[in-house]
Structure formats: C-alpha cells, structure tokens
Structure 1
C-alpha cells in the first residue's frame, strides 16, 4: 500500500490553486469554479497556456522514460507533483522496473486527498503534503527514508514549479540544497515558465500572485533559469524549450512567437 502524509490544512475551493488550474488546462475534472475563472483570465493574457500545459506534460513523460530506461534511475522525488493524471511518474518509471520508487511532494491538500486513492495499492510510492522548500522535512520524512536510498542515484524533479517560488525563496539555493543530498550519478530535472516579453512576464506574474493569494513566484527569463543550473553539466540537448528536449519521432514542437514557454532540461550531478 502506498503512503501519504496527513495534513490539517483544509481545501479552499474559493481561492484558485496552481495544481487545480494545471489540472483544468490538461483537461482534468479535479478543479473548481475559482480555478476555471482564473484560467479564463490567464488565457486572455497568454492564449497558448493550455497548449503549454500539454507540452510540459509530454516533456515529463519523456524525461522520466529517459531517466528510467537509459540512465537506470530507480528513485524519483517529484517536487510540486500536482494532481494525479495519466502517465504519472511512478507509472512511467515502473514500466522500466516495477520496483522503481517515487516520492511525490506537493503542498496542496487536494493533491494529498487524490493521492490516497491513486497510491493505495502501490507500496513503491508515497505522497508528502509539504512545501518543496522544506528540504529537511522532506528528506527526513519516514517515507522518503523508506523509499529513497541516499547511497544510490536519484532523480529530483522540479517540473514547472520554480515559477511558484518568489526570488526571496532563492530557487537556486533550493536546487543546490537538494543536489547536495543526492548520491553521485543523480540528476536534476528543471523547467519553468519563461518569456522574453516583459509585459507577459509581469502580467502573468501579477495575475497569478493575485488570484492564488500570493502562492506564486515569477515568470523569469531563460538567462535566469540557466543561472540556477550553472554548477552542473546539462544532458544533451542542453537547456531548451521543452518540446525540443529529446522529442519523440513525430514531435509537436512549440511554436516560436508564443507568449511564453517552458524552458529547461536535465543536469547530471
């Protein structure tokens, strides 16, 4: 049976949640009127947002498959995992090895509620209701220690979540902290929303900060994200718009000129 961390935090359906907004953009049903209204506002500023969410999810599938099949990674920590959907990290990784282990981390209590159902028959997974910045709590948690062997390589995923952190939280320091806790041969997967258009960066940042009650960070530039990862060696093809990261045989490539994009890649530690 999978494990989850209990939480006393109530689900607030009146304030939009990033996880539930992402669920709606992916075509899911685990969202509320407040989330859908916030997505309507977002689509007016950045009409490509739904396409972007789908592109990002496809990147997650490819990167986990690459890590599990080609790099033989058997341990994953998925920071800001969001609501369960099709092709979750453990489902992809366990196709390569049924014993692959995954710890999901998210601070939205609805993710925890749905994770109970999804993981109740999978002993190789756990869902932690935690802030990804609380690295001591995450790595010292009994389920992390049960599933993640600190002496073996691990993939730490930060897929489309660093834009939820303000600059004051120092995302680069968070990545260094997590990397310092992982064994040699581990990997970081990092991508976040970027835009070369300052008006888009500021408009989306202001909208999301307001609608989520401050639970948001900032749309950044490519150079800023590259700076987060400067200490490590990128895996080919490097840091790119995510539809261009090891695309499938018939990729859906992100259109140049869209308001924003998901940008990043995989680095070896």
Structure 2
C-alpha cells in the first residue's frame, strides 16, 4: 500500500487524496492502523494518525506501552514453541504486520510452525499477503474474532490449521475492545472448547484501577475509537477459567518471563497491561 512520501506521513498532512484498497474507508480510524501509527509504521491514514496523536497527548507513554505489548507477544510465542511444543497459532485481532510478528518469532524457533492472522479490518489481509508472499505456513484472513464459528471454519484457516491437534490462540491487545454485552469471556471459552487438550490461550486486557494513566487512556480510547473496556484483575482472570495457568500466572507484561531483571518499582504505564498464558488440560 503506497501512502505517499515519508515527510507527508511524518507531518500527518496530505496534499492529495489517500489511496485505500476496496472496502477500506480511510476517513474512519481503525484499531489496527492506529496501532501501526503508534509503532511508527507507514500503513495508516491521516484519521489514524490523528487518533494516535491524541492518545500520545493523553498518555505520552502509550508508545512504550505498545512496544511492551510486542515484547510480551514475542516472549509468549517463543515459550509456546520452544517449551510447550506448540506448532499452530491463531492470532486474533492481529493488526498490521510490523516487526517481531508472531510468525517471525515462531518460525525462528521452528520453521514448520503454522500461523493464521485474524483481523476484522479489511486492510490487514492484502497488506499481510504482500509481506507473507512465499511463506506457505502463514496466512491472514478477514474475520470478526467474535464470530468463533466463522473464524475456525474459514477455509484458509482450515487449510493450515489441524484443529484435532493443539493450537495456541492469541488474544493479546484485543479483549479490552469488546464490551461486556459482547460476552468476551464466552468468546474465549468457545475458542478453547473447540480445541483439543494441550492447546493454549494467551490473553490480556487493560487493567482497571485508580491509576490516572489507566483512567486517561480508557477515556481517550472511548472518545477516539468508541471502545475501550478496562477490567479488574478478577475479570481478567476469568478468561482462563478451566485452564491451567502457566507460571508466573496472571501478571503485568514486564513480569511475564522477562529477559532481564525487572527494575523496581514498575513505571505507572506498566501497570496498565495484565496478561497470562494457560494450557487446556
């Protein structure tokens, strides 16, 4: 996708109409493209960069938070391949491929690992297709993660993923986008009910607290994106009901099997991210 010159991108201004693939409205921000803008990517539009700018103004550490999320995904995937023996991944709400993607980390550990990226944003699939060209073990599909039957029944997913063998479902950076009326706990449960013993769930949610950073970010997400549902530790823990939590359990992202010794105390923004990994017995 060609979005114009780097100087225009950096300034957030455009002198010509932005091009978008069929089915994509560039005037409406998307979570995937806002995330890309926060990471400094090029696959976003002025509307997305506007939201990213407002998020940075509300919580200047938002970029650190997004990179912390990426690092958590990397450690989780590496563990699941190297230690848990998982060779199949379904990455829900995957967003636009950036760096240290799920398939890159997984296939570095074992090139035979299969990965399916799932996102509701129609701009993700064509972008991913261009990046993933020549990789027969990875595909991106356009589906709503809330429709479990559609996701698991997608022909491209079924072509790559053997649902009779263990699968790792990644729901990282996604569940806080779903309001309670969408029954996010039920969505997660239906995925895990459809998968065999030995499958894993890696999930997270933004943590509700009196932390002013949490309150500012939640409010700004609702204003700019119309969504953002921070949850208590107990509510986040319910995503893992019936599963066996992998050590160290449900923790802040930097505390999940860190590569280096953690500084103490944690930064305020680090308290916003809570996640874990669990195995289906």
1: distance between equivalents of 2:189 and 2:236? 13
- 1:25 is aligned to 38
Inter-CA distance 15–197: structure 2 relative to 1 (3 Å threshold)? farther
Spell out, residue by residue over 1:111-154, the C-alpha distance to the aligned partner (whole angstroms, 9 max, x if none): 11211101221111111101001111111111121111122111
Which of 152-161 and 87-96 deviates more? 87-96
SS of structure 1 residue aligned to 2:141 = strand
The equivalent position to 2:236 in structure 1, one of 225, 231, 236, is 225
- 1:101 is aligned to 114
2: distance between equivalents of 1:33 and 1:255? 34
Q: Residues 195 and 259 of structure 1 are in contact (CA less than 8 Å); yes or no, is this contact kept in structure 2? A: no
2: distance between equivalents of 1:150 and 1:183? 7
- 1:5 is aligned to none
Shift of 1:257: 2.8
2: distance between equivalents of 1:14 and 1:79? 24
Shift of 1:255: 2.8
- Taking the TM superposition and a 5 Å limit, the aligned residue runs for 1:78-93 are 78-93=91-106
- 2:201 is aligned to 188
- 1:177 is aligned to 190
- Taking the TM superposition and a 5 Å limit, the aligned residue runs for 1:59-70 are 59-70=72-83
What's the TM-score, normalizing by structure 2?
0.86
What's the TM-score, normalizing by structure 1?
0.89
Q: Number of paired residues?
A: 260
* Residues 1:237 and 2:237 are matched in the alignment: no
Q: Structure 1: which 5+ residue stretches go unaligned? A: 1-7
Provide the aligned C-alpha RMSD in A. 2.1
Spell out, residue by residue over 1:148-198, the C-alpha distance to the aligned partner (whole angstroms, 9 max, x if none): 112211100001100111111011001100000111011000012223127
* Residues 1:249 and 2:267 are matched in the alignment: no
Answer with 1 or 2: which has the greater Rg.
2
Spell out, residue by residue over 1:181-225, the C-alpha distance to the aligned partner (whole angstroms, 9 max, x if none): 11101100001222312765554344323423x3x2412222221
- 1:264 is aligned to 275
Question: Relative contact order, CA 8 A, sep 6+: which one is greater?
Answer: 1
Q: Residues 154 and 182 of structure 1 are in contact (CA less than 8 Å); yes or no, is this contact kept in structure 2? A: yes
1: distance between equivalents of 2:187 and 2:265? 29
